Amino acid sequence: MSTERIDKLLKLLEADPDDTFCLYALAQEYAKAGELERAVGQYEALLKVDPDYLYGYYHLACACETLGRMDDALSIARQGLERAQAAGNDEKARSELAELVERFESA
């Protein structure tokens, strides 16, 4: 785990707790380090601040899947897909979320 990057992100978040880039980046750092529960908490914080941050849903769902929380993973992927369809401006995110939903439904 890159504690230096995490420390920098935490300091930035102290100054601006609603910084979506920092929330996302911190979640990604935790996920890379295998700290999935922490990553989940950060993705959830991100989505509270910005419910339209589509890749937050994607990575949150994947983290839940890895943790064996399949019901949560499917629910989150569906929420993200609904947001992506409503926004209509990010076909890549919509497509990736749709693939997740399909994969989770067939599991």
CATH number of the domain encompassing residue 31? 1.25.40.10
Report the C-alpha gap between 59 and 25 in whole angstroms. Answer: 11
Domains held by the chain: number: 1
The pTM of the whole model exceeds 0.75: yes
pLDDT, tens digit, for every residue of 11-50?
A: 999 999 999 999 999 999 999 999 999 999 999 999 999 9
51 vs 4, 84, 96, 103, CA distance in Å?
Answer: 28, 10, 17, 23
Report the C-alpha gap between 30 and 25 in whole angstroms. Answer: 9
Q: State the residue range of the domain holding 34.
A: 3-105
pLDDT, tens digit, for every residue of 65-91?
A: 999 999 999 999 999 999 999 998 899
